[in-house]
Amino acid sequence: CVHLGERECSVQRRHQKIIEESPSPALTSELRERMGAAAVAAARASGYVNAGTVEFLVDERGEFYFLEMNTRLQVEHPVTESVTGLDLVRAQIRVAAGEPLDFTQPAQLRGHAIECRIYAEDAATGFLPSIGQLTLFEAPTGPGVRNDTGVAAGDTVHIYYDPMLAKLICSGETRAAAIERTLAALSRFAVLGVTTNVGFLAEVIAHPEFRAGRTFTDFLTAHGLPAQADPVAVPDTVLIAAATFATAESSRIGLSGHGGGGKMQADATRVSADEMTERKASAASDPWLRLGPWRPAGSGIEQCFRVGKETHTVQLTRAGGDNRGWLARHGDTALGFAIERLRGNELTIRANGRTLRFLGVKQGTQWELWHEGQCYRLAETGALDLSHHTVGGAEETSLTAPMPGVVVKLLVAEGDHVEERQRVLVLEAMKMELGFDAPHSGTVKRLPYKVGDLVPAGATLLEIESAD
């Protein structure tokens, strides 16, 4: 009986692990030896044969306490494989076949490994699962990067199963190297169609306290994670990419002037609005240059997007007659850029001395863009589209389901009077119960579903008539 070191699993959400690493930054060599001996003793005392995971709780004094033993490999076993060089699945099968172990107690662990669990869930809404079809799935690769997954673009994340999409395992010679490799890999992990926790994982791993190895089971609440970000803060570069995708999609032409894959030869830099006007005016006498938005002196084409309650208008125009780049205007900002690649759902541009890569998918009028580990959702709309403008302060009159689920409790009936924040019903989805409260006081006007009904995402669960 041998032990293969430990895994640190303190960072959790909803009391479930999301980041695991080996070796643990909390253990000294002496504590590691004592804990390993205790695990071996537990297996021997119970007569257990095959792979098993003994879990302990460790306090701030360095004392540890037995929690449970899992008689199997666990989700995070790849980090142990990384630091030991062993194939634990193979070893488990060999033992089950009656064969002896072909390795002995490792003298020491090699390097450091970190695993991130990639979930289809929204950290900003209390880690609610995100259901839908994966319109794009692109996992990072490279030295020291491993992906364990069973999904691909086109697959559907259902309500009935755990929403884990993949496990990202990154290793390095030191913990610091493993952290940097993990952050780099997360920035290249692209998933569209559902919301994921990729950005949240990067936020946790980049946190100074995580870097210092000071992680406890209350890590997220203790440090206010996830931080509340402005949901409508979309960078100019993302809006420009969306406008480029939308224009290419509507015009069916290659924006680079080379049938969609051609490479612009020049870097582009931020330019003033005056300079953009001057460039267009200088070419106004040439009729060839005045024909359409894709001519250097054309009036340009406008693309409008709605993000939350904000509307953004982006104008694209060719920057000159030498095929050297493009000009984009958004509000008071004018940005010059060069298209290096535009093919399918991939766009690469050169702007401000940087090469920027975007992935985009359109469904109906909705664009979903990925850039540097973050996903953005934009609704393509006409410049005069005011359909989503509402009078400020309007009172909500209904509750809608944020995800598919099954009604497990109805706590009110039609005609009942309810008070603001009174619990009215409960949905169950993915092993979780989601409670819904009345948004204001009033009378229940309509309850379209009964206990046991399957409710689709976006469905109206309850309508309330104001007491006024």
Neighbours of 62 (CB within 10 A): 12
Contact between 84 and 106 under an 8 Å Cβ cutoff? The reply is: yes
| Main-chain dihedrals φ then ψ at residue 445, nearest 5 degrees | -90, -40
Q: What's the CA gap between 24 and 109, in Å, rounded? A: 11
Separation in Å, CA 232 to CA 334, 375, 377: 20, 12, 9
Neighbours of 374 (CB within 10 A): 16
143 cis-preceded (ω within 30 degrees of 0): no
Separation in Å, CA 159 to CA 107, 128, 385: 45, 11, 34
Q: 244 Cβ partners below 8 Å, 6+ apart? A: 255, 316, 326, 339, 342, 347, 349
Q: 214 Cβ partners below 8 Å, 6+ apart? A: none
Q: Annotated catalytic, 279? A: no
The residue annotated as part of the active site, out of 14, 34, 61, 72, is 72
- By residue count, the chain amounts to 468
Would you name the residues annotated as active-site residues? Answer: 72
